[in-house]
Amino acid sequence: MTESLLVVFLICGLANFFFSVMILRTLKAGGIRFGFYEMRWQVHKHLKTYKQVSTARTGRVGLPFYGYWGSLGGLVLSGALIFLSLAR
């Protein structure tokens, strides 16, 4: 059980990284300046700006916004379940 949760955790982590890069690329194309040094902080800092930029471009919020939050939720949930399964 713990091994499968670890696989889910790693997949969610990779998906979160992928969506973070997509969000930052869209922001860069929109003219927003940022550094790649602390990528996680930059995504959280500019998430509201990404929502505005993607809405202005396509008329609705982009898929990476929801993918980012969904994969982040998957990371938290699977991490908590891993700790609970190891505590037994």
DSSP letters for 25-88:
HHHHHTT----STTHHHHHHHTHHHHHHHHHHHHSS--HHHHHHHHHHHHHHHHHHHHHHHHH-
Per-residue pLDDT tens digits of the chain, which is 88 residues long? 888 999 999 999 999 999 998 998 888 888 887 776 766 677 888 889 999 999 998 899 999 999 999 999 999 999 999 999 988 7
Residue with structure tokens 């929109």?
30
Q: Supply the pLDDT for residue 28.
A: 85
Q: Are 8 and 74 a contacting pair, CB within 8 Å? A: yes
Break the chain into its structural domains and give their ranges. 2-87
The region, left, alpha or beta by phi > 0 then psi within -120 to 50, assigned to residue 34 is beta
